[in-house]
Structure 1
């Protein structure tokens, strides 16, 4: 290729009006490349134009008569990938446009313009640049090679990489000329751009890298927030193309240097049954307790690769207390099992009318809320919202009830209920006493009837006493 390059350049230098400069052009594979060719437009003669590629023959040419011709490889099935816009000829611009450039289009091109009394020739070096990823969609944890290919390669060029518009540079990156080799993980996901700088000209090409594995959550140690008593889902979703085997959930013990599995909460259950293969390995806790906070690990085997993702469940609750000096006041404290991401707390009073319409009161800032006097106005639902750098993290609610000991107020409704309760209690006591007396009488008669002789004596004695009393009255 270098020998052909020098031959073409040498021929151009020997021709009349030839330009000595070789023009460098970079084009990304699949895009449109414009090869410049400009000369003096003052000639009154119709020019003859021919574009050729070194060792490949004619690309496109136009005779003075206006007839156009294309090389065989540049006009497949009647479609012309290479052409010169006629609208620019009056300005002396005979640049060649190549659509959907391919890797094999790279090389040395020559433009020859014959105006009858002057021949101008330009030499253009077209370099096709592209970014390739191997394997095209790597699996998390496996090696991935990202290459910046240029055809023909410009010796002495410098190469730089950016990932998502930020320069990519890490001590673990193994670089040699135009490629790097990395372990596939979430940090490599995104748009990779290769910049090639050569003789003041810059070429660039881009490609998108997608890593297959656990896509949700996208990174380790993602925090999931939940309120005590609520239900929560711990996400663990694999790429849609992957169906993991040996799916495992574990709760990691706190305080150990090396994470070790612990006991899962009683309300923990996988969302997808193990009998049905699925890329979704998420799990749920039906009723979260404050003791359920901690780190959880989701794992699965994909193509003999063990993939894991750690996440942290942060549980929120509200503790209430009554200050000793103010019996009618209430103190609410918003507590989280981990506050490392929390930057701000807000309290808001939530009210529902008879139609169920929800409305909110003014917002109060702070981790704690002091209600100086519990009354009808501030009873009901209070919500504590906690925020991080990226916005709302979660919320937890507390129901404030109106109690006489706290409010210091006596209502007529309460007095009427008290009278009714006292009266009902008195009636029940009287009925109970009557039942007890009836039971005693019954038991006494029952004991007497067990001795017939004694009953006869008692009966006889009673008759004699009545007879003597009658006789005494007659006398």
Structure 2
């Protein structure tokens, strides 16, 4: 009996003996959240306890009935996973980068204890100062402890792997350089550290100061006193107050310039400065060109540099450029092309019945293949009766009639999108009676004058002919004392 009891004691001791699985390396970032992944036990009716290093006082525990107890010093930062016994640490502090020990105790059917030690190592990305668009971004991913098999990669703010970005250069130490950043590079950049199948993330916020993206297509408007031309120019990311007021990269000035297109007139290619930005205080536009510009959009808090213009003419066709200047000769620019649709009538907007009328809808140049015009005639008229093509830029009315009078609207379309439209009012009038009377009198007067001139010409010619006949006859001299024929001596 004595030997049997001794044998049982040895067996029980073997089951009570703790089993260790070795240290598990986990990476985390200061201020972030990390999960120390403890595998789920075969039975849920166990006691789980987490310790810091070799401390004997548990940080958090859960008994076999599911009741949790947390150290008051860690109450707001620790929790246990609902599905297993993993430890979740929130708002990681610098002093948290050390060892954590997990202990599981199962008392049924036989007492058994398992523990696992985790080593929390930090991973971080050095913050960078705000950048102007066009500059290079340099980031470095720092790891407290690097083990064989540890891998690092980078994700852009759009969560795209930078290994496929032609602008990105990733060096041997995993430091990153992105050439010529734009406003799309503004946001959270992430260094992903992979070790033993687990991933840790280190984020850093990158501020890229850039102007709003330029329009991919021209702005289309039309000739009208009511048309409003809006020229956008604002910062996609407003500069931080501390940055915009610094001596190194503060805003020094700005301006809007206009370059007329060949369709705008004689000033083609001549750059005109419309307004200049006066830094004040207060911040203000100084208008150089009296073109009906509205500069009221300018604001200090977000530097909205947009302009508006009411009353568009064909002279507004061209390229508008917004420029913001910084110290060290840094400059941001955005250009916007403006196309102006106009319609005109030949010979004039007022035509007489029976007269040929030509309507032309144009941007000042030939339309590209993706653009087309659409005519909307007055309600009483029809394009089918004119026999024109479906979308002619030049519309001909062979013989104007009363039904052709009214508002003709020309619409500019790209695929199924209407870009803009313009209208012209065509007046068709009958020739008044007094005009016909005046025409008749003038015609009679012209005929009378022509007959009079013809009569004078014929009369003069007749007189000249008679004179010529008279000069052609032999003259006979009738002497008072004629002498007989013969020879006489003097």
TM over 0.5: yes
Q: Paired residue for 1:223?
A: 218
Answer whether contact 2:191 2:201 (CA < 8 A) is retained.
yes
For 1:397, which of 396, 403, 422 is the aligned residue?
Answer: 422
Using the TM superposition, give the Cα deviation of residue 250 of structure 1 relative to its aligned residue in structure 2, in angstroms: 2.7
Using the TM superposition, give the Cα deviation of residue 268 of structure 1 relative to its aligned residue in structure 2, in angstroms: 3.7
5+ residue gaps, structure 1 = 1-14, 354-363, 405-409, 427-475
Report how many residues are paired: 367
Q: Indicate the SS of the match to 2:131.
A: coil
Q: Paired residue for 1:138?
A: 131
State whether structure 2 residue 86 is matched by structure 1 residue 98. no
Q: Structure 1 residues 158 and 140 mapped into 2: Cα distance closer, same or farther (>3 Å)? A: closer
Using the TM superposition, give the Cα deviation of residue 166 of structure 1 relative to its aligned residue in structure 2, in angstroms: 3.5
Q: Structure 1 residues 180 and 254 mapped into 2: Cα distance closer, same or farther (>3 Å)? A: farther
Q: Structure 1 residues 167 and 95 mapped into 2: Cα distance closer, same or farther (>3 Å)? A: closer
5+ residue gaps, structure 2 = 1-16, 245-249, 263-268, 275-288, 348-353, 381-388, 442-490
Distance 2:118 2:57 in 1: 15
State whether structure 2 residue 407 is matched by structure 1 residue 380. yes
Counterparts in 2 of 1:30-109, with a 5 A limit? 30-31=32-33, 33=35, 35-41=37-43, 47=47, 49-54=48-53, 60-62=59-61, 70=70, 74-75=73-74, 79-84=75-80, 93-102=84-93, 105-109=96-100
- The range that moved more, 262-271 or 115-124, is 262-271
Q: Structure 1 residues 65 and 188 mapped into 2: Cα distance closer, same or farther (>3 Å)? A: closer
Distance 2:55 2:390 in 1: 76
Deviations 1:260-299 (A, max 9, x none): 9723575446644899978233344454443443333322
State whether structure 2 residue 252 is matched by structure 1 residue 245. yes
Q: Paired residue for 1:16?
A: 18
Q: Paired residue for 2:351?
A: none
Using the TM superposition, give the Cα deviation of residue 70 of structure 1 relative to its aligned residue in structure 2, in angstroms: 4.8
TM-score in terms of structure 2 length: 0.57
Using the TM superposition, give the Cα deviation of residue 144 of structure 1 relative to its aligned residue in structure 2, in angstroms: 3.9
Q: Structure 1 residues 157 and 274 mapped into 2: Cα distance closer, same or farther (>3 Å)? A: closer
Distance 1:171 1:23 in 2: 33
Distance 2:55 2:327 in 1: 46
Using the TM superposition, give the Cα deviation of residue 60 of structure 1 relative to its aligned residue in structure 2, in angstroms: 1.8
Distance 1:273 1:112 in 2: 68
State whether structure 2 residue 199 is matched by structure 1 residue 202. yes
Q: Indicate the SS of the match to 1:30.
A: coil
Using the TM superposition, give the Cα deviation of residue 401 of structure 1 relative to its aligned residue in structure 2, in angstroms: 0.7
For 1:262, which of 262, 271, 294 is the aligned residue?
Answer: 271
Using the TM superposition, give the Cα deviation of residue 81 of structure 1 relative to its aligned residue in structure 2, in angstroms: 1.6
Answer whether contact 1:51 1:61 (CA < 8 A) is retained.
yes
Q: Structure 1 residues 173 and 381 mapped into 2: Cα distance closer, same or farther (>3 Å)? A: same
Q: Structure 1 residues 170 and 225 mapped into 2: Cα distance closer, same or farther (>3 Å)? A: same
Deviations 1:208-252 (A, max 9, x none): 54422433xx24887333323545233333436558433223335
Q: Indicate the SS of the match to 2:304.
A: coil
Counterparts in 2 of 1:38-437, with a 5 A limit? 38-41=40-43, 47=47, 49-54=48-53, 60-62=59-61, 70=70, 74-75=73-74, 79-84=75-80, 93-102=84-93, 105-115=96-106, 117-126=111-120, 133-135=127-129, 137-148=130-141, 156-168=150-162, 169-176=164-171, 177-182=173-178, 183-190=180-187, 192-204=189-201, 209-215=206-212, 218-219=213-214, 223-229=218-224, 230-238=227-235, 239=238, 241=241, 242=244, 244-252=251-259, 262-264=271-273, 267-268=290-291, 271-272=294-295, 279-304=303-328, 306-320=330-344, 328=356, 330-335=358-363, 343-347=370-374, 349=376, 366=391, 368=393, 370=395, 376=403, 379-387=406-414, 392=417, 394-404=419-429, 418=433
Deviations 1:307-358 (A, max 9, x none): 23131332223455669xx964645333355967x734342528799xxxxx
Distance 1:350 1:293 in 2: 26
Aligned-residue CA RMSD in angstroms?
A: 4.9
Using the TM superposition, give the Cα deviation of residue 31 of structure 1 relative to its aligned residue in structure 2, in angstroms: 3.9
TM-score in terms of structure 1 length: 0.59
Q: Structure 1 residues 146 and 385 mapped into 2: Cα distance closer, same or farther (>3 Å)? A: farther
Distance 1:221 1:305 in 2: 27
Distance 2:316 2:270 in 1: 14
Using the TM superposition, give the Cα deviation of residue 397 of structure 1 relative to its aligned residue in structure 2, in angstroms: 0.6
Distance 2:366 2:168 in 1: 35
Using the TM superposition, give the Cα deviation of residue 382 of structure 1 relative to its aligned residue in structure 2, in angstroms: 0.6
Answer whether contact 2:251 2:326 (CA < 8 A) is retained.
yes
Answer whether contact 2:30 2:92 (CA < 8 A) is retained.
yes
Using the TM superposition, give the Cα deviation of residue 111 of structure 1 relative to its aligned residue in structure 2, in angstroms: 0.9
Q: Indicate the SS of the match to 1:403.
A: strand
Distance 2:94 2:378 in 1: 68
Answer whether contact 2:294 2:309 (CA < 8 A) is retained.
no
Q: Indicate the SS of the match to 1:134.
A: coil
Using the TM superposition, give the Cα deviation of residue 384 of structure 1 relative to its aligned residue in structure 2, in angstroms: 1.6
Answer whether contact 1:130 1:148 (CA < 8 A) is retained.
yes
Q: Structure 1 residues 394 and 233 mapped into 2: Cα distance closer, same or farther (>3 Å)? A: same
Using the TM superposition, give the Cα deviation of residue 41 of structure 1 relative to its aligned residue in structure 2, in angstroms: 1.6
